[in-house]
Structure 1
Amino acid sequence: MTDTTRIETTRIDPTRTAPPFDSWFPDATFDGSYGHTLDTLRDIAPIAATPAFAVQWRRWRAEARLVDAAPRILSTQQRGRRDVSLIEHSGADGTRLRAWYVAPTSGHPRVGVVHSHGYGGRDRVEYGRVPADAAAIFPVARGLGALNAGVGAPEPVGEHVLAGLASADDYVPGLCARDLWLAADALVSLAGELPLYYVGESFGGGIGALAAPWDDRFIGATLVVPTFGHYDERLAVPCLGSGEYQRMHLQQHPEAREQLRLFDASTSAAFFTIPVRVEAALWDQSVPPQGQFAVANAVPHDLLELRVLPAGHAEYPGLGRVLVDARREGLAHLERALS
């Protein structure tokens, strides 16, 4: 396994000048940089783990090993050089969840990719971060569309992100993270034993940071604009994403902050022992950048590859090029993790 390196966006050098956010987002109702610069974002320390943090996540991982993912193929279509199957598998609590499983039509895959999604759910597979010779599972989080709307959790984001908060074992985003281990089980059951690589964006980046450090099958991960990072920062500011529902809830129920300590992606990211690529944005109204960078800052220095994005959850000039470059670099990161 080779050492990873820090990478920053090449189109805009944020160490010298910030992108022209005012001209890019003239109708923005608030500043998605929250007054931060790259320097101040890189100084944000993650939330330190309590003694109970690792104990709890290791217990959940041990419990998940006792659950049979029992994947079942419901239908399969050949699409180009890939077979795409609709499957169902068990989640961490036995709830049957649907997902897509993808494999090359010929030859044995050399890596498995667990590819999660944002809070909007998923209605199709996306190959931009999956090598052609990889097997992949595209899990859909419990409760979310298109495959699992209302299954095991409420679908509306405001309800989903708060559901079960009174009990750590029942908190839905935590269950979604633990479900990723069962999705990985389903992938391995269908494809055979493979090294695994994780990809997740936004919601998927946050739950991946919670889950992947505790599963030694993963050899690397890419977290794109990850959410659930540094709740003290996240809950201190308004946003357009799921954090706003949490912020408003905690204004009425401040005691709930203690429950969220077990689900801070910046805390969990400190436990990574594999190469991790974080793509973090300087401007983002949906997932405040300070939370994203707290996740990046938590990853041990020698394991981190950081890609600084101009903005997240928004369209801006040059976005297409940024996405192409990020996906190419992400595939290269996967290859280095395999070597």
Structure 2
Amino acid sequence: MSGFPFDPTYGYSREALLRVGVPDEPDGFGEFWRGRYEDARRVETRPEVGALEEVRDGVRIHEVTFTSVGGVRLGGWLVRPAEGPVRRGFVIGHGYGGRDAPGPAVPLPLPGSAAILPCVRGMETRGRAPGTGTGTGTGIPADAPSHVLHGIRSRETYVLGDCVADLWCAASALRELLPESPAAPLAYLGESLGGGLGALALPWDDRFVCAALTVPTFGNHPLRLTLPCVGSGESVRAYHATHPEVTEVLPYFDAAAAATRIRVPVLVAAADADPSVPPPGQYAVHNGLREDLRTLHPLSAGHMEYAGEERERAQLAAALTEFAGAYM
């Protein structure tokens, strides 16, 4: 685990990681996010299913588009069983860099499942409106270091708030696309960026019955600002150095603070070493969850190649299947 100008464990043992604290939420935290959620639920998502792209692993994978807050039209993939009824649904977030295919999110954890895999605004490839070149028509840059700073001057304009809303609207779109299964339970799965956004989204949306967050970002911003990394957090650290007032905005987007409000079971796959998302921030998200609702799945590392990675990925997939099966 070398090759970086810093130790990707940041000097933390597993025991020390489990003691990482959670920042207090700022004044108006709940009111801010409940308002954002109510706005998102009022959106007419108008989902449209496009071309069939693949049939594999017992599912059919289609293009899909839907509308999110601000009238932004986003895309992604819709996954449905090739045969049989839909008994459950998943909203599956992605990491920074976006996604240009469903990738390892398919096969889904459980049979009889449907899923929507949205690209949040600004992200490759289907979070960018055709012909705009650099965003969704609202000037959102696609590269992670710039995307994470877009609108950061205020909590109302920060892009992460709209990205969370994109996940809520994706859930609405999925429900609309499953009229034959109106009571199907929903779960959220997200990794890295998708993990942090998921933690911010879950406290306010009672449509989700459980979630799994893998190497989640945005946990414990005060601590993150002290830790160098090679991920999007470094861009925020550099911005903070010349704009210290950003500490008035970041607390509203702290995934660890949000985790204290989550009231459904959550599996957190957190890494002991990670050069992109410092492990103390990942564990802060886990530590913020209510003790009786959290399940920890430790990983040796995240966002890097390491010995045993393939084996650990297989173990995580098995753990996700068992976890989701217990609550769906």
Both structures adopt the same fold (TM-score exceeding 0.5): yes
Range with bigger deviation, 123-132 or 218-227:
123-132
**Aligned residue among 96, 99, 109 for 1:122:** 99
**Aligned residue among 9, 15, 27 for 1:51:** 27
Query: SS of the counterpart of 2:305?
Result: coil
The count of corresponding residues between Structure 1 and Structure 2 is: 314
Matched, 1:275 2:265: yes
Residue in 2 aligned with 1:212? 202
Residue in 2 aligned with 1:6? none
Q: In the TM superposition, what is the alpha-carbon distance from 1:128 to its structure 2 partner?
A: 4.4
What TM-score results when the alignment is normalised by the length of structure 1? 0.90
Residue in 2 aligned with 1:334? 324
Give the residue type in structure 1 aligned to 2:242.
Answer: Q
Q: In the TM superposition, what is the alpha-carbon distance from 1:129 to its structure 2 partner?
A: 4.4
Give the residue type in structure 1 aligned to 2:96.
Answer: Y
Pairs within 5 Å for 1:61-140: 61-80=37-56, 81-125=58-102, 126-140=105-119
Q: Is the 8 A contact 2:154 2:249 kept in 1?
A: yes
Query: SS of the counterpart of 2:69?
Result: coil
Query: SS of the counterpart of 2:327?
Result: helix
Range with bigger deviation, 97-106 or 146-155:
146-155
Residue in 2 aligned with 1:147? 126
Q: Distance in 2 between matches of 1:129 and 1:83?
A: 12
Q: Distance in 2 between matches of 1:306 and 1:88?
A: 34
**Aligned residue among 1, 4, 14 for 1:38:** 14
Q: Distance in 2 between matches of 1:132 and 1:170?
A: 39
Q: Is the 8 A contact 2:109 2:317 kept in 1?
A: no
Query: SS of the counterpart of 1:51?
Result: coil
Q: Is the 8 A contact 1:88 1:98 kept in 2?
A: yes
Q: In the TM superposition, what is the alpha-carbon distance from 1:148 to its structure 2 partner?
A: 2.1
Q: Is the 8 A contact 1:130 1:136 kept in 2?
A: no
Q: In the TM superposition, what is the alpha-carbon distance from 1:247 to its structure 2 partner?
A: 0.3
Give the residue type in structure 2 aligned to 1:102.
Answer: V
The structure showing larger relative contact order (alpha-carbon pairs under 8 Å, at least 6 residues apart) is: 1
Pairs within 5 Å for 1:153-172: 153-172=140-159
Query: SS of the counterpart of 1:169?
Result: coil
Residue in 2 aligned with 1:187? 174
Q: Percent identity?
A: 39
Q: Is the 8 A contact 1:129 1:327 kept in 2?
A: no
Residue in 2 aligned with 1:3? none
Q: What's the Cα RMSD here?
A: 1.2
What TM-score results when the alignment is normalised by the length of structure 2? 0.93
Give the residue type in structure 2 aligned to 1:185.
Answer: S
Q: Distance in 1 between matches of 2:227 and 2:63?
A: 40
Q: Distance in 2 between matches of 1:43 and 1:50?
A: 22
Name stretches of at least 5 consecutive residues in structure 2 with no aligned partner: 129-134
Give the residue type in structure 2 aligned to 1:155.
Answer: A
Query: SS of the counterpart of 1:328?
Result: helix
Q: In the TM superposition, what is the alpha-carbon distance from 1:131 to its structure 2 partner?
A: 2.1
Matched, 1:321 2:300: no
Q: Distance in 2 between matches of 1:63 and 1:272?
A: 20
Give the residue type in structure 2 aligned to 1:35.
Answer: G
**Aligned residue among 209, 212, 223 for 1:222:** 212
Q: Distance in 2 between matches of 1:129 and 1:46?
A: 32
Deviations 1:131-182 (A, max 9, x none): 2310000011111112223214210112100101123222111211111000
Query: SS of the counterpart of 1:56?
Result: helix
